[in-house]
Structure 1
Amino acid sequence: MRKHSSPPSPSFPTSSSSSSSSSSSFFTQSWTYDVFLSYRGEDTRKTFIDHLYTALDRQGIHTFIDDELPRGEEISPALLNAIEESKISVIVFSENYASSSWCLDELVKILEYKKSKQQLVMPIFYKVDPSDVRNQRSSFGDALVDHEHKFKDDMEKVLEWRRALTEAANLSGLHFKEGGT
């Protein structure tokens, strides 16, 4: 996994109404990483993610990118720690994101930490329509149907993934369309 060796960047833009206790705890919290990147490797690792990571690194933004952790049935403790210890999670939704139960489990954890640790979450819709993510249509719908068959004895997990996709797609983010920005 690549980790930026410089100290984390000292500040991120804040909203003008940062007087609430939840936002002050965000800024007093000790974070290991500035950014955690959640993405589907087969879609974006050698293209978008490499460029995004390089751009963040050049700006001195301490970024966790999972490019060496072994794959398994469940998210590893190291990955869970990286998610929890990141100030911001960037979720890069791409065509095959929802086909990975690993990515969907990451998404659920990211949204849990958004609530419990006031972590900031920013979705990026890379060559996918945000409404397809929100409503589980196209490749997202197909993937969830496949998961329903695979996890027929654990439908609560699939429902949790569906809720997480809808919640994340309702957040403000960036949309990169095919052949443009």
Structure 2
Amino acid sequence: MAAASSFSSSISQWNVFLSFRRKDTRNFTSHLYAALDREGIKTLKDDEKQEKGELTSKALKKEINESRFSVIIFSRNYAGSRWCLEELALIMERWEKHDQKVFPVFLSGVHPLDVKHHKGSFEEPFGEHEKRFGREMVERWRSALRAASQLYGWSFKEFG
């Protein structure tokens, strides 16, 4: 318990950004958000006020850039969301350039190797994404998935 307490007190001064697919992770994310809030940790998550046609809002980019930590909650349908993939790309760019701490969470049905190698539910949406957003954008998202899947994280079988 002391380790958790010292961890939370050391990060309470920084923001934590949560990236997740809303409809897939509602229970898990709400519990995580509440737990971080109880510890006094300012936790940010994407809002639903995106402008039509925008991949990310300026406010969302600002939240990611101001966060010291990001938690990426990978669910089965995460890769089906262009919003999630764009958030992930921004997070991983921040990780690479500014040493933001990133912690992946793999929910039930998601294996890190599936994320890394774009298999199963992490393969299916990319054909449609490529048609809509182009090869360059899709490769940026694939690269972010590969990088995030190789970070130390947690697997939760009971959620998702």
Could you say whether these structures have the same fold, taking a TM-score greater than 0.5 normalized by the shorter chain as the test?
A: yes
The count of residues paired between Structure 1 and Structure 2 equals 149
Q: What is the DSSP-based 3-state SS (H/G/I as helix, E as strand, rest coil) of the residue aligned with 1:92?
A: strand
User: Aligned partners of 1:136 and 1:115: how far apart in 2?
Assistant: 21
Structure 1: runs of 5+ lacking an equivalent: 1-8, 13-30
Question: How far 1:121 sits from its partner (Å)?
Answer: 0.5
Say what the alpha-carbon RMSD is for the aligned residues: 1.7
Question: How far 1:137 sits from its partner (Å)?
Answer: 0.6
Identify the residue that residue 115 of structure 1 maps to in structure 2.
96
Structure 1 residue identity aligned to 2:10: S
- Structure 1 or 2: more helix by fraction: 2
Q: Aligned match of 1:144 in 115, 126, 143? A: 126
Seen in structure 2, the aligned counterparts of structure 1 residues 71 and 140 have a Cα distance that, compared at 3 Å, is: farther
Deviations along 1:1-32, one digit per CA (max 9) or x if unpaired, are xxxxxxxx6514xxxxxxxxxxxxxxxxxx7x
Question: How far 1:129 sits from its partner (Å)?
Answer: 1.0
Identify the residue that residue 60 of structure 2 maps to in structure 1.
79
4+ residue runs of structure 1 moved beyond 4 angstroms?
none
Taking only the aligned residue pairs, the percentage that are identical comes to: 48
TM-score scaled by length of structure 1: 0.77
Structure 1 residue identity aligned to 2:139: L
Contact 2:19–2:73 (8 Å) recurs in 1 = yes
Q: What is the DSSP-based 3-state SS (H/G/I as helix, E as strand, rest coil) of the residue aligned with 2:68?
A: strand
Q: What is the DSSP-based 3-state SS (H/G/I as helix, E as strand, rest coil) of the residue aligned with 2:124?
A: helix
Structure 2 residue identity aligned to 1:164: A
Identify the residue that residue 5 of structure 2 maps to in structure 1.
none
User: Aligned partners of 1:158 and 1:101: how far apart in 2?
Assistant: 9
Matched, 1:95 2:97: no
Matched, 1:11 2:35: no
